[in-house]
Structure 1
Amino acid sequence: MTGKEAPMTAPAIIVTMSDSVPGRQMGDVLGIARGSVVRARFFGRDFVAGLRNLVGGEVNEYTDLMAQTREQAMARMIAHAAELGADAVVTFRFSTSTITEGAAEILAYGTAVKLT
């Protein structure tokens, strides 16, 4: 999030990396739920990260940026699952790809299902 956006809220949807929800029966498969964010690096953050590269260690600026981006992609996936009428998303995964030099996409996806 850029700090100017309101946090996304969505109904309580179960999200799991497994192919089932423990203690629940799956009903209809509603399709693929997905949420995507393309994030570009910021010069100020790059400058600080470049200085950190000189001394080594974790680049906290990028760690924080990617954590925020994953959360936003997951929130978008959950919102999409809600639009599909899902109670849960199973087989949840993240995928990352480079779009251009300095920009990457984080994709959150899984199978939207109704529970019985």
Structure 2
Amino acid sequence: MEKEIIITTTETVPQREVAEILGVVFGNTVRAKHVGKDILAGLKNIVGGEIEEYTEMLRDARMEALNRMIKEAKKLGADAVVNVRFTTSQTMAGAAELLAYGTAVRLR
């Protein structure tokens, strides 16, 4: 069974001490809008309400970026990733990058 690591948005892990900082780890994914989903989103924009197609796409993108970040942390032998953050940026018309990053650490 693969070792689980702690992921937190805080700078510390309660009842644990950082023994070693291994470095910043990243995970990213670039997603493009889907023409069919754009049509549905346009219709929902007229009547209002949540655009579930985009909510699902962004949720999936966050999880993929987070899992890629965790994979990088495990390669370094980390026990945890602290100070985890997410950011997005438009890479081209209709496509955006979602980036997860944090500091990989070993704990005592």
Structure 2, unaligned stretches of length 5 or more?
none
Q: In the TM superposition, what whole-angstrom CA distance separates every residue of 1:10-66 from its partner, at most 9, and x where no partner exists?
A: 631100011000011111100011100000001111111111111111111101100
Structure 1, unaligned stretches of length 5 or more?
1-9
Q: Distance in 2 between matches of 1:36 and 1:11?
A: 22
Q: Distance in 2 between matches of 1:115 and 1:89?
A: 10
Q: Distance in 2 between matches of 1:46 and 1:11?
A: 40
Q: What is the 5 A alignment of 1:1-116?
A: 11-116=3-108
Amino acid at match of 1:77: M
TM-score (norm 1): 0.89
Q: Which runs of 4+ in 1 moved over 3 A?
A: none
Root-mean-square deviation over aligned CA pairs: 0.9
- Matched residues, number: 107
TM-score (norm 2): 0.96
